[in-house]
Amino acid sequence: MSSSRSAYHHGDLAHALEAAAMQLLADKPATEISLREVARAADVSHNAPYHHFSDRRGLLKTLAERSMAELVADVRAALEGAPDATAALIAGGQAYIRFAVERPHAFDVIYDPTVCIPGAPTATMAPLIDELETLLGGAVVDAGLRASDLTACWGLVHGLGTLAAAGHFRLDVATDSFESAARAMLAG
C-alpha cells in the first residue's frame, strides 16, 4: 500500500483533503474538481474522500465555506488596517474586488447558487455570510452612509469584482472606480 494509507491513519484526513481541494481550486473552477482528483492531490486512496465528504456536492460546499472564510478574513483585515471610516469603506470594498480578481475560482464557488443555495446556506456558511454582511454594513454606516446603502455598495463591489475577474477591465480600474463611487456617495 502507498503512503496514502498512512496519510489516512494519521488522523488529519479532513485537513489534508481540504488543503488539497483548495490548492486545486487555485488553478481550476470548482465544477472541474473531482473527489478522485482531490484524493490524488492529498496522496490518499481514491475512497478516502468519502470519509470526509458525503459526495461531490459536499466537496463543493466545503470549498465554498473555506473560500468565504478567506474572503471574510481579507475584508476584515482591510477594514481593521484603515486609518478612518472612509478609508475603511474603500479598503474593504477594494479587498472584496481584489479577492474576486485574484482568486476567481474561489469567488465563483462562494456565489454558485447550486452550491450555496440562496436563503438556505449551510450551518457553516450562514455565520460567514452574516459576518461579511456585518463587516460591510458596519463600514457603510461608519463612513456616514445609511444602513440601506449596504445593498448598493455590496452590489457595486461584487459587480466590479466579477467584471474585472472576467477580464472586462483591469483590477486597478475596478478598485479606483469603487473608490470614486464611494466618495461620490459620501459627498452626495
Residues 25 and 108 in one domain: no
pLDDT band at 50 (very low <50, low <70, confident <90, very high): confident
Q: pLDDT tens, 87-97?
A: 999 999 999 99
Return the pLDDT at 11.
65
Q: How many domains does the chain have?
A: 2
* Shared domain check, 40 and 67: no
Q: Does one domain contain both 83 and 45?
A: no
Considering the domain architecture, whether residues 183 and 105 belong to the same structural domain is answered as yes
Last residue of a domain, one of 36, 53, 70: 53
One domain, residues 13 and 77: no
Three state DSSP letters for 59-127: HHHHHHHHHHHHHHHHHHHHHHCCCCHHHHHHHHHHHHHHHHHHCHHHHHHHCCCCCCCCCCCCCCHHH
Q: Cβ(67)–Cβ(53) under 8 Å? A: no
Same domain as 177, residue 164: yes
CATH for 39: 1.10.10
Could you tell me the CATH number of the domain that includes residue 145?
1.10.357.10
Helix (H, G, I), strand (E, B) or coil at 141: helix
**Section 128-145 average pLDDT:** 97
Q: Quick one: what percent of the chain has pLDDT higher than 70? A: 94
**pLDDT tens-digit series, residues 4-19:** 444 444 468 888 999 9
Domain end among 33, 53, 73? 53
Residue with more model confidence, 54 or 65: 65
Q: List Cβ neighbours of 177 (8 Å cut-off, separation of 6 or more).
A: 160
Contact (CB, 8 A) for 143 and 152: no
Domain identity same for 49 and 87 = no
Q: Say whether pTM exceeds 0.85.
A: yes
Q: What is the mean pLDDT of residues 127-138?
A: 97
Give the burial class of 32: count Cβ atoms within 10 A of its Cβ; 0-12 exposed, 13-18 middle, 19 or more buried.
exposed
Q: Do both 63 and 43 map to the same domain?
A: no
Domain residues for 37? 1-53
Q: What is the CA radius of gyration of the chain?
A: 19
Question: Do 45 and 70 belong together in one domain?
Answer: no
Same domain, 38 and 68: no
Is the pLDDT at 126 greater than 70? The verdict is yes
Residue 63 shares a structural domain with residue 49: no
**Same-domain check for residues 70 and 159:** yes
Residue 27 CA to residue 29 CA, distance in Å, equals 7
- Centre a 10 Å sphere on the Cβ of residue 79 and count the other Cβ atoms it contains: 21
Domain boundary pick from 12, 28, 53: 53
